[in-house]
Structure 1
Amino acid sequence: MVTATQDRPATVGELRASGHRQLSVKQEIRENLLAALRDGRDPWQGIVGFEDTVIPQLERALIAGHDVVLLGERGQGKTRLLRTLSVLLDEWTPVIEGSELGEHPYEPISPASVRRAAELGDDLPVAWRHRSERYAEKLATPDTSVADLIGDVDPVKVAEGRSLGDPETIHFGLVPRMHRGIVAINELPDLAERIQVSLLNVMEERDIQVRGYTLRLDLDVLLVASANPEDYTNRGRIITPLKDRFGAEIRTHYPLILDHEIAVIRQESHLDATVPDYLLEVLARFTQLLRESTSVDQRSGVSARFAIAASETVAASAVHRGAILSEAEPVARPVDLGTVIEVLRGKIEFESGEEGREIEVLEHLLRRATADTARERLGGIDFAPLVAAVDQGDPVITGERITAKALLAELPELAVLDEVAKRLGANSDGERAAAAEMALEGLYLARRISKVAGDDGQLVYG
């Protein structure tokens, strides 16, 4: 929180003189959202794939002033979407300076603030709170208590001489502290049912109950939550009265088209080496094939984090090779795709009948993704000269311990390889080696050449 500056009112009297208008948090979000829609601005920066499905539903819920719960499998961007809501708040909002609950200067609600407002009148000091301070997020864990969310009697305040019945003995929890803000609860079903009950009054009557007495605090909060579908999780459920109090229940989903899957990978991954676009496409196709496979437990889902981690693993494999073989600018190649299965297979949950076949299933789907990408990217190129050269000449050897320059030295000088490099946007030696390897792998998967894996990790195309 920042104190008033020269261009902002410093007291409630100055605030009234400035013409400031008080709005509830839901009215504030509604007006800012409608203004963004009228101006053609996108308030949902960084959200990919929800433009025609989830976002319109969420916008209607916010315009209606509803509390919202997002339902979806893991890794569908629910938390990311909730965190963008703070952008719809005013950048700065006035609060009573020093107030525990961040109350609006026009409407104090805690006993201490009501008393100060009565004593000071128009001289009540005003501070300004940034919208980033008006969003709070709580991961629902089994050990979350009512005190964490709502509050509890503070023994220190009692020891100072206050009586137990004094409302000022309460230490407020997360929800009242976010008065005039947004409270997000992640994985709501993980919250014990008796703790969920404590939210009922907050969402409907807008007051809180602590221990043996009720505080009539006119709380102004937007409560949002995320949850897995009930048919997936056995950890808990949203109790019926609480679910009834959410005005909107919106289903999220994984990216529906390939371009969105690739965009999520590009946006979220941190790559330490050059990873060509076509390898990211392979990983995106691989992820989508996993989501369609009957061998994979689709109730669990295949998180977007899988594709992100896969791209980072492929980049790390290239960096690893570069360090060992002294390559100055490491570039990922198709040979690095195999590391994804080795490192990330534990992130996929398989159907019980597939026990022992997990590696086989993953390898099959990765081959399909690679073949589909090679066909899409390199379709229409006449590979007959390359097939003939490989068939009649020396085999082409690649692998995790083969440098890009060594691979290029083994390749015949053919115009078709120049065309492949141009089609795949390859310029440097590392990129040209990766493009040539992609062409060879595509020919192998089309059964036009053979590939043999050696004991030392080498791959021989012949």
Structure 2
Amino acid sequence: MTHPAQSTDRPADTTLAGLRDSGHELGSLKQEIRANLLAALAAGEDPWPGLHGFADTVIPQVERALLAGHDIVLLGERGQGKTRLLRTLVGLLDEWTPVIAGSELGEHPYAPVTPTSVRRAGELGDDLPVTWRHRSQRYAEKLATPDTSVADLIGDVDPVKVAEGRSLGDPETIHFGLIPRSHRGIVAINELPDLAERIQVAMLNVMEERDIQIRGYILRLDLDVLVVASANPEDYTNRGRIITPLKDRFGAEIRTHYPVVLEDEVAVIAQEADLVATVPEHLVEILARFTRSLRESGAVDQRSGVSARFSIAGAETVAAAALHRATTQAEPHAVARVVDLEPAVDVLGGKVEFESGEEGREREILDHLLRRATADTVRHRLGGIDLGLLVEALEGGSSVTTGEQVTALDVLAGLPVLGESDVYDQVMDRLGATNDGERASAIELALEGLYLARKVSKESTETGEKLYG
């Protein structure tokens, strides 16, 4: 999990008296978030770094919910950036906040809430020790699973504390769960409908009355916590549902979505993919168009969705193929080419759920949509370049060989001579190719475009190579 970087200017530890003398004032968590959000907006800063495609839809709704002080549930299909959005909320907290040193729930020195801290504050008075907590420590995240218990989220009686001699009726025997421990912070619950209904019931008091009930204890803690959650709408019928009373306690229910425009899809891949080799922009665009075509296809189960992880994994796979070729063939530059896309589909196919009537046609559908994405990218990237001389050369008997283990130099060396024509240079310049690997990748895109336009043929040899001719 990534959080904003922790600065080195941590305030010095002090006492309650020292904190008061410094002029520090206590505000609620939601007031703190509201103030920091308004300050960022007023300064023209982006409070949501790394989020693409939500600027005009989801983000305004989230900002209004935070300004209103509402708990939030995000509804959306898998891979739409719900968890990333929730984690970005950390940046709206103060970098450092004072807490009672040694307190179990990280309580503010001005407002202790647990019996233990209240007793210590009464005994020590102005000498109550104060330390500082970074905002990264004020965000807790829980993946809801069917085996999650009330003890995990709310708390339970701690048998060790009972064994130490405390009475069962003593509230100090309670071991607090994740939500109370997130006091003065944010608690995020991913896949909320996966929680058993009885566990969701246990959250009702926390969400509304801000107290907790554990095995007959009614311990009124003035909890100051922002509860956020994510859910897939289909989970309401497939694995579980958010019970109506809990759903009613969330002040804002916000629908997320996949990137609406191609540029945002490309930006997500470029940002998230961990690439071990160069993947030219035109290949990233093909993968983005491929993913978008899958989301629009009637053959794909759209209730499940096609995650952004599909295109990210695709970029990482073609990069790995390029690195493998460069290593085995001693190439100086590991650069992905069009020939690396097809085997990547073999790996990615399992990430897509098809409609039941398409059984047996899955690979055919994937290949068709990949070809369409490639053709659209060729038109977008190479439109206006006259490749007629290259077509004539191939019709005249020339051929170009490529393949997963064919080096970039071999691809370039096999290109037919076109006299004084600069068509190759036009293609390479249009795609920004600067080394042999990128040049070969650019030429392959042009050749694949000609093949998809049915101007040249492409055959597979017995050794797995591709022959354009």
TM-score bucket (shorter structure): over 0.9
Deviates more, 1:58-67 or 1:396-405: 396-405
- In the alignment, the residues of structure 2 paired with residue 13 and residue 27 of structure 1 have an alpha-carbon distance, to the nearest angstrom, of 24
- In the alignment, the residues of structure 2 paired with residue 249 and residue 5 of structure 1 have an alpha-carbon distance, to the nearest angstrom, of 37
Query: 1:239 pairs with 232, 236, 243, which one?
Result: 243
- In the alignment, the residues of structure 2 paired with residue 35 and residue 312 of structure 1 have an alpha-carbon distance, to the nearest angstrom, of 38
SS at match of 1:179: coil
Query: 1:422 pairs with 420, 429, 432, which one?
Result: 429
Q: Provide Cα deviations, 1:20-59, integer angstroms capped at 9, x if missing partner.
A: 1101111100110011111111110111110110000000
Instruction: Look up the match of 2:197.
Output: 193
Instruction: Look up the match of 2:387.
Output: 383
- In the alignment, the residues of structure 2 paired with residue 258 and residue 233 of structure 1 have an alpha-carbon distance, to the nearest angstrom, of 31
- In the alignment, the residues of structure 1 paired with residue 11 and residue 101 of structure 2 have an alpha-carbon distance, to the nearest angstrom, of 17
Instruction: Look up the match of 1:33.
Output: 37
SS at match of 1:40: coil
Instruction: Look up the match of 1:406.
Output: 410
Is 1:131 the counterpart of 2:131 in the alignment? no
Instruction: Look up the match of 1:451.
Output: 458
1:6 Cα deviation (Å)? Answer: 9.1
Moved over 3 A (4+): 4-9, 230-233
Instruction: Look up the match of 1:70.
Output: 74
Is 1:161 the counterpart of 2:165 in the alignment? yes
Deviates more, 1:413-422 or 1:435-444: 413-422
1:232 Cα deviation (Å)? Answer: 6.8
User: What is the 5 A alignment of 1:120-269?
Assistant: 120-230=124-234, 234-269=238-273
- In the alignment, the residues of structure 2 paired with residue 267 and residue 401 of structure 1 have an alpha-carbon distance, to the nearest angstrom, of 28
1:395 Cα deviation (Å)? Answer: 1.4
Asked whether the 8 Å contact 1:452–1:459 carries over to 2, the reply is yes
Q: Provide Cα deviations, 1:141-200, integer angstroms capped at 9, x if missing partner.
A: 011000000100011110110010000001111011110000000000000000000100
**Structure 1 residues 78 and 6, CA gap change in structure 2 (3 angstroms):** closer
1:455 Cα deviation (Å)? Answer: 2.4
- In the alignment, the residues of structure 2 paired with residue 260 and residue 29 of structure 1 have an alpha-carbon distance, to the nearest angstrom, of 27
Instruction: Look up the match of 1:15.
Output: 19
Percent identity of paired positions between Structure 1 and Structure 2: 73
SS at match of 1:435: helix
SS at match of 2:402: strand
SS at match of 1:310: helix
Asked whether the 8 Å contact 2:399–2:416 carries over to 1, the reply is no
- In the alignment, the residues of structure 1 paired with residue 368 and residue 10 of structure 2 have an alpha-carbon distance, to the nearest angstrom, of 66
- In the alignment, the residues of structure 2 paired with residue 270 and residue 325 of structure 1 have an alpha-carbon distance, to the nearest angstrom, of 23
Asked whether the 8 Å contact 1:9–1:18 carries over to 2, the reply is no
- In the alignment, the residues of structure 2 paired with residue 394 and residue 270 of structure 1 have an alpha-carbon distance, to the nearest angstrom, of 38
- In the alignment, the residues of structure 1 paired with residue 405 and residue 19 of structure 2 have an alpha-carbon distance, to the nearest angstrom, of 69
Asked whether the 8 Å contact 1:9–1:15 carries over to 2, the reply is no
Q: Provide Cα deviations, 1:80-129, integer angstroms capped at 9, x if missing partner.
A: 00000011000000000110011110011111111111111111110100
Asked whether the 8 Å contact 1:207–1:216 carries over to 2, the reply is yes
Paired amino acid for 1:54: V
1:393 Cα deviation (Å)? Answer: 3.4
1:394 Cα deviation (Å)? Answer: 2.2
Relative to the length of structure 2, the TM-score reads 0.96
1:402 Cα deviation (Å)? Answer: 1.0
Is 1:118 the counterpart of 2:122 in the alignment? yes
Is 1:314 the counterpart of 2:318 in the alignment? yes
Is 1:437 the counterpart of 2:444 in the alignment? yes
Instruction: Look up the match of 1:93.
Output: 97
- In the alignment, the residues of structure 1 paired with residue 11 and residue 272 of structure 2 have an alpha-carbon distance, to the nearest angstrom, of 38
Paired amino acid for 2:437: G
Number of residue pairs matched?
Answer: 460
1:446 Cα deviation (Å)? Answer: 0.7
Asked whether the 8 Å contact 1:69–1:225 carries over to 2, the reply is yes
Asked whether the 8 Å contact 2:73–2:253 carries over to 1, the reply is yes
1:397 Cα deviation (Å)? Answer: 1.1
SS at match of 2:372: helix
Q: Provide Cα deviations, 1:286-331, integer angstroms capped at 9, x if missing partner.
A: 0000000000000000000000000000101111111221112111
